[in-house]
Structure 1
Amino acid sequence: MYKLARGFTLIELLVVISIIGILATLVSANLNSARSRARDAARKSDIRSIATALRLYYNDKNTYPVDGYFDSLWGSSWTDSGVTYMSKLPGDPLTSQTHKYEVGTDGNSYILSACLENASDTQGVSAAAAPYDAWCPTTKWMFQIEQ
């Protein structure tokens, strides 16, 4: 009488391991895409929050802060004349890069920008032209609020 072999053959094990590897790769790729979209959503939310604080500042001072005003404030509190406009000026959630702030020559307008990871974001604009191409070198795509 023959005894039935128990267990799996080497081929069966290799097939199962290959399938698990392929599934893990697909899930990992989808997670990375979701993470980059989440970071882009955080960037856009941060820009909108800064824009709200800029409007409050403008209401108090009748002008927007000058270029370079935020250079030393990113990541810290934005307080001016005893008024706190933001408890923490947010920077990029992934890198140490800061958002870009430019004020108009008359002090009554500004452009606030953040580099995006997802170049197909429908709310983004091209950053392929100077001076933004050096500032957003990876995707050449950014989110802007202009006032």
Structure 2
Amino acid sequence: MNRRGFTLIELLVVLAILGLLLSLAAPKYLHSVDRAKEAVLAENLRITRSAIDRFHADRGRYPSSLEELVARRYLRTLPVDPLLDSATAWRLVVIQDEEGASGVVDLKSRAPGVGRNGRAYAQW
């Protein structure tokens, strides 16, 4: 009698090996995703802060909003906070000048938690 197929034992051994491999690979994958989100957050903050500084150097005042940076082509699009997956979740640091006009001087993330560097995301 010549039968084709796998026995139950063979299938269980293969599933056990796959489970072991996944249990080793999944944490490393999730850790690398978190590292990538932190890197994107740091880069978006750096680029946007640089655009705010260039705007201030060119115009002698701070932008009234992040949308003004996009409208005046200092940024292509609004930066996205990768931890919250939103372009509108930023906490803007606003000051008022002598004439009473307000402007955005900095932005911070509203994401809860602490990064790999030990600092809260809200303090980056």
Partner of 1:102: 93
Query: Residue by residue, what CA displacement relative to the aligned partner does 1:85-124 show, whole Å, maximum 9, x if unpaired?
Result: 11222112362253222123346883321255872421x6
Shift of 1:22: 2.3
- Measure, in 2, the Cα distance between the counterparts of 1:105 and 1:97: 24
- Measure, in 2, the Cα distance between the counterparts of 1:48 and 1:117: 20
Amino acid at match of 2:74: Y
SS in 1 for 2:114: coil
Identity rate, percent: 30
SS in 1 for 2:56: helix
Is residue 2:33 matched to residue 1:35? yes
Partner of 1:57: 55
Alignment map for 1:1-147 (pairs within 5 Å)? 10-66=8-64, 69-70=65-66, 73=67, 78-80=70-72, 84-93=73-82, 95-98=85-88, 99-106=90-97, 110-115=105-110, 119-122=114-117, 125-126=119-120, 141-144=121-124
Higher strand residue share: 1
- Measure, in 1, the Cα distance between the counterparts of 2:87 and 2:76: 19
Amino acid at match of 1:100: R
- Measure, in 2, the Cα distance between the counterparts of 1:25 and 1:142: 32
Shift in CA distance, 35/48, structure 1 to aligned 2, threshold 3 Å: same
Amino acid at match of 1:15: V
- Measure, in 2, the Cα distance between the counterparts of 1:91 and 1:51: 13
Whether the aligned pair in 2 keeps the contact of 1:37 and 1:118 (CA below 8 Å) is no
Higher helix residue share: 2
Shift of 1:18: 1.4
Q: How many residues align?
A: 117
- Measure, in 1, the Cα distance between the counterparts of 2:19 and 2:112: 27
Gaps of 5+ in 2: none
Amino acid at match of 2:51: A
Structure 1 stretches of 4+ moved >3 Å = 7-13, 105-109, 115-118
Q: CA RMSD in A?
A: 3.3
- Measure, in 1, the Cα distance between the counterparts of 2:94 and 2:56: 12
